[in-house]
């Protein structure tokens, strides 16, 4: 069957639109009622061109409308049954333009770039522990001091 010559009866058209509205993929609803996928795609392309002719224009419009209505029903069902999911993933989610409480706050990553790591309390604590351990091993302590010095780090005391 050539897509250009497909005749869409009002009954089949209504069934396709009802199938889409019920949640089927558009091309699946069309095939379920006898309109081949390539024909459906042809009709949609024709209906979405600038200044489309009938019956393509109204068919494409009705398909888009039915798909939007199906999505509305699905989003409403999620909103009713799982509002948290709707808030996180749906149109209720937080965006830059519309802040909200729907997304968990992610912990800030510790970055020492642009900061003096030696002023960080945890780094200072770790260095004290290493120095205390090395106190019992003078040769190791001298070797650590030598390597640090070779890398441009001065150790005092």
CA distance 70 to 68: 5
Within a domain: residue 105? no
Task: Answer whether residue 69 shows pLDDT above 70.
Answer: yes
Within a domain: residue 130? yes
Q: Where is 133: in which H helix or E strand?
A: helix 121-134
The contacts of residue 29 (CB under 8 Å, 6+ apart) are 15, 16, 17, 18, 19, 20
The contacts of residue 14 (CB under 8 Å, 6+ apart) are none
Domain coverage including residue 54: 3-73
The contacts of residue 26 (CB under 8 Å, 6+ apart) are 20, 40, 44, 63, 66, 67
Within a domain: residue 12? yes
63 shares its domain with 121: no
- Looking at 73, 92, 125, the residue that finishes a domain is 73
CA angle 6, 12, 16 (to 5 degrees): 100
For the chain, the distance separating the N- and C-terminal CA atoms, rounded to the nearest angstrom, is: 92
Within a domain: residue 47? yes
- Looking at 73, 107, 134, the residue that finishes a domain is 73
Residue 104, classed as helix, strand or coil, is coil
Average pLDDT estimate for 28-52: 94
Q: What is the pLDDT of residues 72-103, one digit of tens each?
A: 999 899 889 988 888 888 776 777 777 665 55
Residue 67, classed as helix, strand or coil, is helix
Global confidence as pTM: 0.58
Within a domain: residue 35? yes
Task: Answer whether residue 149 shows pLDDT above 60.
Answer: yes
Output the average pLDDT for the chain. Answer: 84
Count of domains for the chain: 2
Average pLDDT estimate for 64-69: 96
Q: What is the pLDDT of residues 103-142, one digit of tens each?
A: 555 665 656 566 777 777 887 788 888 888 888 888 888 8
Average pLDDT estimate for 45-61: 95
- Looking at 73, 107, 131, the residue that finishes a domain is 73
């Amino acid at each position: 069957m050539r897509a250009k010559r497909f005749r869409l009866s009002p009954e089949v058209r209504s069934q396709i639109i009802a199938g889409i509205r019920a949640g089927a993929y558009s091309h699946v609803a069309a095939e379920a009622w006898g309109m081949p996928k390539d024909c459906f795609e042809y009709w949609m392309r024709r209906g979405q061109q600038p200044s489309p002719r009938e019956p393509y224009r109204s068919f494409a419009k009705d398909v888009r409308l039915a798909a939007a209505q199906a999505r509305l029903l699905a989003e409403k069902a999620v909103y009713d049954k799982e509002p948290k999911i709707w808030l996180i993933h749906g149109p209720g989610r937080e965006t830059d333009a519309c802040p909200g409480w729907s997304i968990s706050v992610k912990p800030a990553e510790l970055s020492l770039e642009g900061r003096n790591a030696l002023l960080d309390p945890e780094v200072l604590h770790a260095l004290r522990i290493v120095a205390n351990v090395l106190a019992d091993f003078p040769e190791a302590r001298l070797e650590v001091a030598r390597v640090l010095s070779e890398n441009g780090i001065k150790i005092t005391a």
